Amino acid sequence: AQKITQTQPGMFVQEKEAVTLDCTYDTSDPSYGLFWYKQPSSGEMIFLIYQGSYDQQNATEGRYSLNFQKARKSANLVISASQLGDSAMYFCAMREGTSYGKLTFGQGTILTVHP
Amino acid sequence: GAVVSQHPSRVICKSGTSVKIECRSLDFQATTMFWYRQFPKQSLMLMATSNEGSKATYEQGVEKDKFLINHASLTLSTLTVTSAHPEDSSFYICSASGAVGTGGRANYGYTFGSGTRLTVV
């Protein structure tokens, strides 16, 4: 079974509008961490935002926010005021447990921002 | 802080030859290194996990004799693709995690290299 699921292969958004990228996860471990990364065409993995399973507040980092719904096991990324430079592949990832073990990645979503 | 330098960024090699990819943590001690492989427009798939001074742990289906991983120091891990074939052509990327107090817990514990595009002809 997929531990991390991103159901949107591609998303389009108009410049300056907000967009939500979906991510659901599956784990029985009460302690876990959820990550979002941006991967432009150059291939580098750019860390965007992190949410811990015990965090009470939704994480925010500038234009990025994470809509964490624990009961639904979802961790959607919201990008506000989209910019042309936001066009890239976006990955949701999960770390299970408290130690710094492997990350499991979702399938990714290609975001295209139109002018 | 927390930079991982990965080299080469691109490499083209002939079928049957070996290629070595290096990942160096420049400003922290990388106690654990994760090696991923990524095909175009697909996800990152973990190949192996290595801890400094120990043998790497390979994921199911990854040939350990083909993908040799060495993590002999806290600042250097290498992935050697032996007897490369065209089907080994892919994007390889490392991710390092370090000890508390050494700067290796930046980005909530994972610092990625910039990746290596391997083409085997």
Span B5-21, pLDDT tens digits: 999 999 999 999 999 99
What's the pLDDT tens digit per position in A47-66? 999 999 999 999 999 999 99
Q: Evaluate if residue B74 carries a pLDDT over 80.
A: yes
Q: Do B109 and A95 touch (CB under 8 A)?
A: yes
Beta strands A10-14 and A109-114 are parallel
| Averaged pLDDT of chain B | 92
pLDDT for position B109: 82
pLDDT for position B103: 57
pLDDT for position B2: 82
Q: Evaluate if residue B104 carries a pLDDT over 90.
A: no
Q: Indicate which of B100, B110, B118, B119 best probes the interface with A, i.e. most A CBs within 10 Å of its own CB.
A: B110
Name beta bridge partners: A92: A36
pLDDT for position B30: 87
Q: Are A93 and A106 in contact (CB under 8 A)?
A: yes
pLDDT for position B12: 98
Is residue A98 very low, low, confident or very high in pLDDT (cuts 50, 70, 90)? confident
Chain B residues near residue A103 by CB distance under 8 angstroms: 34, 46, 95, 110
A2 vs A52, residue with greater confidence: A52
Chain A residues near residue B109 by CB distance under 8 angstroms: 95, 100
A101 vs A26, residue with greater confidence: A26
A81 vs A101, residue with greater confidence: A81
CB neighbour list of residue A28: distance below 8 Å, 6 or more residues apart: none
Cα(A108)–Cα(B44) distance, rounded to whole angstroms? 9
Tell me the mean pLDDT in the region A99-113.
94
Return phi, psi of residue A85, to 5°. -70, -5
Distance from CA of B17 to the nearest CA of A (A): 24
Q: Indicate which of B44, B51, B114 best probes the interface with A, i.e. most A CBs within 10 Å of its own CB.
A: B44
What's the pLDDT tens digit per position in A25-42? 999 999 999 999 999 999
Chain B residues near residue A47 by CB distance under 8 angstroms: 107-108, 110, 112
- Positive or negative, the CA dihedral A49, A107, A109, A24 is negative
What's the pLDDT tens digit per position in A13-24? 999 999 999 999
Q: Do A100 and B112 touch (CB under 8 A)?
A: no
Q: Which of A33, A100, A106 sits opposite B43 (nearest CB)?
A: A106
Name beta bridge partners: A109: A90
Chain B residues near residue A42 by CB distance under 8 angstroms: 114
Phi-psi bin for B107: left (phi > 0), alpha (psi -120 to 50), beta?
Answer: left
Tell me the mean pLDDT in the region A58-84.
97
Q: Are B7 and B21 in contact (CB under 8 A)?
A: yes
pLDDT for position A45: 96
Q: Are B3 and B102 in contact (CB under 8 A)?
A: no
Cα first-last separation, chain A: 38
- What is chain A's Cα-based Rg? 14
- Reference B58, options B37, B43, B38, B73; nearest CA is B37
> A45 is written with which tokens?
């993995």
Q: Does A45 touch chain B (CB under 8 A)?
A: yes
Is residue B101 very low, low, confident or very high in pLDDT (cuts 50, 70, 90)? low
pLDDT for position B83: 97
B31 vs B119, residue with greater confidence: B119
Chain A residues near residue B95 by CB distance under 8 angstroms: 45, 103
C-alpha distances in Å from residue B88, one per residue of A5, A98, B102, B119: 26, 34, 35, 8
CB neighbour list of residue B110: distance below 8 Å, 6 or more residues apart: A35, A47, A100, A103, B34, B95, B96, B97
